[in-house]
A = this chain, B = another copy of it.
Amino acid sequence: MFKLFYAPGSCALATHIVLEEIGTPYELMRVDLAGGEQRKPEYLAINPKGRVPALATEQGILNETPALLVFLAQRFPHAKLAPLDDLFALARLQAFNSYLCSTVHVARAHLRRGARWADDEAAIAAMKRKAPQNVLDCFALMEASMFVGPWVMGESYSVADPYLFTITRWLVLDGGNLSAFPAIQNHFERMSQRPAVTRAIEQES
């Protein structure tokens, strides 16, 4: 049985929702980030990066959201969570996930985790000031050029949908306004009502 190492409010929610969509049994393992559990030897043996998510499988432990999402889609093809038979479409899905991971998540991390990239308080405050606009710029680009609709990749729901939902939820929880991004706002509202999404959020709260 899979074990998902997660922290509430983290990007692990994307993988958590996908596990719920698939309906495969798994165990939730909460990591206490505020208490520093991710830096203790026990957790570093699970994920040397000291981050969540990590997914323990029967073959070993995996991490990094884009890798976990496509792994689960490939492992459970009946769930139809990625265009596994269309290499070009799969590459577009991977590109979307990669943008979320390396640009949108990173843009938002400068709001709260600036200490990763600078040591002095004024610099961390400067990053915090700029982060909200950077995140909005990412959403504007996704709305205009990347989001196909009604789902991220078009007619078919895929693992990119829980991932976009997870990061859109950060924007909402941070007090951001989605009204400039009507397609993504509509996506967020539809995602919020999916049973797999409500179950995952309830389990994390």
Binding site for B on A (CB under 8 A): 48-49, 57, 59-60, 62-68, 70-71, 74-75, 87-88, 90-92, 94-95, 98-99, 101-103, 105-107, 110, 116-120, 122-123, 126-127, 129-131, 134, 141, 144-146
Stoichiometry, copies per complex: 2
**A60-B48 contact in complex given A101-B98, A117-B131, C-beta closer than 8 Å:** no
Q: Which residues of B contact A48 (CB under 8 A)?
A: 141, 144-146
CA distance A134 to B117 in the complex (A): 8
Contact B99 A102 (CB under 8 A): no
Q: Which residues of B contact A92 (CB under 8 A)?
A: 60, 62, 67
- Additional A-B contacts beyond A49-B99, A66-B94, A67-B94 (5; CB < 8 A): A49-B103, A66-B66, A71-B91, A117-B130, A119-B126
Contact B134 A99 (CB under 8 A): no
